[in-house]
Structure 1
Amino acid sequence: MSPQRFDLVVTGGLLADPLRPEPVPGDLAVRDGRIAAVGAPGALAGADRLDATGLLVAPGLIDLHTHVYDPGTDLGVGADAVGVHQGVTTVVDAGSCGSDAFDDFTENVVGPAATRVLNWLNISRHGLVHGRRELSRGPDDIDEAATEKVLREHPGQARGIKVRMSASVLGDSGLAPLRAAKRVAGRAGVPVMVHVGNEPPRLGDVLDLLGEGDVVTHAFHGKPGGLFGSERQARSAVERGVRLDVGHGSASLSFATAERALAAGFTPHTISTDLHNRNVEGPVHSLVTTLTKLLALGLTPQQVIRCSTLHAAQVLRMEDELGTLRPGSAADLTLLRHTQEATTLTDADGATRTAAGRLTAVAVVRAGTPRSLPVP
């Protein structure tokens, strides 16, 4: 490709492609919002250059679990505030809206955002618009036909179904909402993301209904029950392709649970935040802070990057578009600094751990356009 046809060359950094075992020195060229070429240091020329010296050049980070329906719900936080302003190029809203409010969400959140915004559509027709007991009224809360219609008519936007399966949400609905979500998902050919927390229902009973490609978010919470209250069923679920997601949230990442899980072989497949306006000032803060918390638990920088890029893209069934540095994929990039400095971090239960190093987002490239991050 002729050098003058490159719109941008990112030069001097370490390319942290999750398809590789480790980052490698190299340059990356962008044209028309796509990655056009990857080459050795100094091998690519272009009119505009982005100096990434000393930085990791990763695919654009993907936060698989956020709440960005602002002001449609009382939890909503601005998509760009937790997206491109924090080094994240794609956020997925996890069930803030259902079929009733999908058009409003698309017009007022997706349209204005510089960040790519996708959806897990709530199986509740109301989503979280009327509060957080959206499945407590039984069949009246669910419109399977309307949910399926949204999924079929907006496949690029609505990537799957969210269902919250904890006692505080369900009332007397039991497992019925999850069964409805699985029916609709099966007909539409999409995955299901399941929120788990306070039992009932037992996590094991939830896991038994899930299949390959489905996601359990809040998998590493410290509440009674959880992974180690249903360990046999959890292992079986992981073996058949159910994905474990962090979903940090205000009450759903326990360092103690995560350490026990890692020791037992339960490694998170994806790392997400559950960011909303009640935890963005703490304990969650950002996706990059959450990645650093997993560094403190022993994962490597390449592992946490893989969890928040390639693995997230695979869950969304968008790995041909997002999550790698392959030529032809979207030119969404996150430039990260990995510094060797002791950092004390706090989980959702108030426990602390110290990481020997930390990740900091320095800049993003979104659809080929570089963006510096606001000064903290």
Structure 2
Amino acid sequence: MFDLYIKNAKTATEEPIEIGITNGKIVAIEKKLQVKDAKKTIDLNHQSYLSAGWIDGHTHCYEEMNLYYDSPDTIGYTKGVTSVIDAGSTGADNIAEFYSLASQAKTNVFALVNISKTGIVHQNELADLTNIQEKKVSEVIKNYPDFIVGIKARMSKTVIGDNGIRPLELAKLIQEKNQAIPLMVHVGSAPPDLKTILSIMDKGDVLTHCYNGKLNGILNETGQIHDFVWDAYQKGIRFDIGHGTDSFNFAVAEQAKREKLICHIVSTDIYHRNREDGPVYNFSTVIEKMLFLGYALSDIIPMVTTNPAKAFQLKSKGTLEIGYDADITIFDVENKEKTLVDSNGNTRKTTQVITPIYTIIGGNDYRVGVEEDGLLQEI
């Protein structure tokens, strides 16, 4: 007997799929299962899509911070997202408190520890190099192996002060001392320039904000992708959207699509302000922007499941396979008109709207939109 049986669903490629779940794991997958009994059954009547649980690889969800913060469940399971990765809100000095709070969430919460011991308490956390202490970072990585899935370095002028590329060099040393732990690098306005940043990054490192519209972005003065960006892409550096308040531009993303520089990871860089006021709002809206750009749903789903799981070594997540965690997102794609806005105020009209209807985490199913005390009910 299954704890949960999901029947009459379809994949992103329109193939039929049914799944059986027991003890929080996927135990059966077929186009059609022969099921005599299950404790719970969700019948999707061949209408809704089913994918591995959505993973938002760039968020800010430590509620005790002052600059960038949100609730993991507000941006997580209530929006169809099964796992969120906080991207450097906390450092060695405060990640223990974040871990304690995150462990209370229904959404799976992971963290990239900031290489600054303070995290983003202030905007310029890497302006003082004494904040970067390898021993402290290594200690918390050792202490929270199931929570910390990488390290984060924010490499833009408002963050690094006069320190140039040195914080990234120190981040690479920390990475080396911690068994090549995943590294995410934020890019923004120079200095340092993008060419220098990419020259230091290695295969498997994650460049976030890849489609930003700043002068220090991926396009040259003629509007084409820089040769050095192509070199980094072909070297195996992973490109992540990290939409955010100021880091996604339609024209840049459209040019990248034309030239076939395709991001590996779709993420939001969401926190309370760009969730409440836009332009991010939620993960579904960012996925809608990818649909508008002309990517097929079957192209996008790996960008929000398999690819972030591989990038941050979430070994039991991101794939619909027997033995994997029963983290699943069920959603509809509806034909509706909607205006999408990028980080620079540019708009596009779409006719495809994503609507999550169930979030399943470790076999626990939540109906999106059914609220009780501000959060979703388990059903």
Scaled to the shorter chain, the TM-score interval is over 0.9
Q: Is the 8 A contact 1:52 1:335 kept in 2?
A: no
Matched residue of 1:360: which SS?
Answer: strand
Q: CA deviation at 1:224?
A: 0.8
* Matched letter for residue 32 of structure 1: N
* Matched letter for residue 344 of structure 1: T
Equivalent residue in structure 2 for 1:33, among 5, 24, 29? 24
Q: Which has the higher strand share?
A: 2
Equivalent residue in structure 1 for 2:210, among 219, 222, 229? 219
Matched residue of 1:340: which SS?
Answer: strand
Q: CA deviation at 1:277?
A: 1.4
- Residue 117 (structure 2) aligns with: 125
Paired residues for 1:15-94 under 5 Å:
15-16=11-12, 22-45=13-36, 46-53=38-45, 54-94=47-87
Q: CA deviation at 1:42?
A: 4.8
- Residue 363 (structure 2) aligns with: 368
Distance in 2 (CA, whole Å) between partners of 1:203 and 1:10 is 46
Matched residue of 2:210: which SS?
Answer: coil
Matched residue of 1:185: which SS?
Answer: helix
Structure 1 window deviating more from structure 2 (51-60 vs 326-335): it is 51-60
- Residue 19 (structure 1) aligns with: none
Q: CA deviation at 1:354?
A: 1.9
Number of equivalences: 363
Matched residue of 2:105: which SS?
Answer: coil
The question of 1:305 aligning with 2:297 is answered no
Equivalent residue in structure 1 for 2:191, among 190, 200, 214? 200
Distance in 2 (CA, whole Å) between partners of 1:317 and 1:232 is 29
- Residue 344 (structure 1) aligns with: 339
Q: Is the 8 A contact 1:295 1:358 kept in 2?
A: no
Q: Is the 8 A contact 2:25 2:323 kept in 1?
A: yes
* Matched letter for residue 241 of structure 1: G
Q: CA deviation at 1:173?
A: 1.1
TM-score, normalization by structure 2? 0.93
The question of 1:159 aligning with 2:149 is answered yes
The question of 1:142 aligning with 2:136 is answered no
Deviation digits for residues 90-114 of structure 1 (CA, Å, limit 9, x no counterpart):
0000000001111111112x11110
Q: CA deviation at 1:141?
A: 1.4
Q: Is the 8 A contact 2:19 2:33 kept in 1?
A: no
The alignment's C-alpha RMSD in Å is 1.4
Deviation digits for residues 23-72 of structure 1 (CA, Å, limit 9, x no counterpart):
41021000000001012335334231012231111111000000001023
Distance in 1 (CA, whole Å) between partners of 2:9 and 2:57 is 26
- Residue 377 (structure 2) aligns with: none
- Residue 352 (structure 2) aligns with: 357
The question of 1:115 aligning with 2:110 is answered no
Deviation digits for residues 266-312 of structure 1 (CA, Å, limit 9, x no counterpart):
11100000001110021100111100011111111111111000011
Q: CA deviation at 1:155?
A: 2.1
- Residue 168 (structure 2) aligns with: 178
Matched residue of 1:81: which SS?
Answer: helix
- Residue 238 (structure 2) aligns with: 243
Q: Is the 8 A contact 2:84 2:110 kept in 1?
A: yes
Equivalent residue in structure 2 for 1:190, among 181, 184, 192? 181
Q: CA deviation at 1:375?
A: 5.3
Matched residue of 2:219: which SS?
Answer: helix
- For structure 2, which runs of at least 5 residues remain unmatched after alignment? 372-379
The question of 1:290 aligning with 2:283 is answered no
Matched residue of 2:28: which SS?
Answer: strand
Matched residue of 1:50: which SS?
Answer: strand
* Matched letter for residue 269 of structure 1: H
Equivalent residue in structure 1 for 2:325, among 319, 323, 330? 330
Matched residue of 2:73: which SS?
Answer: coil
Deviation digits for residues 322-368 of structure 1 (CA, Å, limit 9, x no counterpart):
11110100000000101123322111111111223121111111110
* Matched letter for residue 49 of structure 2: L
- Residue 97 (structure 2) aligns with: 104
Q: CA deviation at 1:265?
A: 1.8
* Matched letter for residue 216 of structure 2: G
Deviation digits for residues 241-271 of structure 1 (CA, Å, limit 9, x no counterpart):
1011000100111000100111122111000
TM-score, normalization by structure 1? 0.94
* Matched letter for residue 91 of structure 1: V
